[in-house]
Amino acid sequence: MKKIFILIVAALIIGSAIGIYFGNNPGGLKKVSEVKNLAINTVSSGQNTAKRNIALQKLDLLRIYTDFVLLPEEKIVDPDKYVSQMGEILKSIGDNEITAKFYATGEGDNKEQKIVDFLNQLNESIKADLN
């Protein structure tokens, strides 16, 4: 039951992040490729590119974290690999609030609620970066 709840929450968060990113584009993926070309060809787009890269790192963190949480223990060959990947991404993102919520998910009681809080915080942060 716990894993189904977490799976549903993760699916909603990922879906909303993807929906926000692609939902505002009437051309769908076509418009996204145009934005990528503009970012590469424009010298003044450095700030937008950095913001986009951080959003992509947050999406990677979300993907790795949901894999780690949702996979059965016997499917995780090397849990240290997942943790080190997430740690590296957290360092490159540099957001203290996300880092604190991430580390809080493994401490104390009520871990499920802490996981949901972390996923919600990450989702809100991704949405803010994409707007």
Condensed to tens digits (0 to 9), the pLDDT of residues 110-119 reads 878 888 888 8
Q: Which residue's structure tokens are 């590469």? A: 40
* Pairwise pLDDT comparison (113 vs 74), residue with the higher score: 113
Q: What is the C-alpha to C-alpha distance for residues 96 and 108, in angstroms, rounded to an integer? A: 20
Q: What is the pLDDT of residue 32?
A: 39
- Its pTM surpasses 0.85: no
| Lowest-pLDDT range of 9-23, 74-88, 117-131 | 9-23
